[in-house]
Amino acid sequence: MTHKRQALVTGANKGLGLAISKGLASAGLSVWMGGRDRSRGEDAVQVLRAEGLDVRFIQIDVADDASVRRAAGTVGQEIDALGVLVNNAGIVLDQASRPSELSMDEIKATYEVNLFGPIRVTQAFAPLLKAADDARIVNMSSSLGSLTLITDPTSLSSTINFLAYSSSKVALNAVTVSFAKEFEPFGIKVNSVEPGNVRTDLNGNTGSLTPERGAETAIKMALIDKDGPTGSFFGNYGRQPW
Asked if 141 and 169 count as a contact pair (C-beta separation under 8 A), the reply is: yes
β-pair type (238-239, 233-235): antiparallel
Q: How far is CA 4 from CA 65, 75, 154, in A?
A: 28, 14, 46
- The answer to whether 165 is a known catalytic residue is yes
- Residue 5 CA from chain centroid, whole number: 18
CA distance linking residue 212 with residue 215, whole number of Å: 5
Cα separation, 234 vs 144, whole angstroms: 13
DSSP H or E run through 45:
helix 38-49
Instruction: Kindly compute the dihedral angle of the four CA atoms of residues 71, 59, 90, 133, in this order, to the nearest 10 degrees.
Output: 40
Catalytic-labelled residue, pool 165, 179, 183, 234: 165
Q: Which residues are catalytic?
A: 165
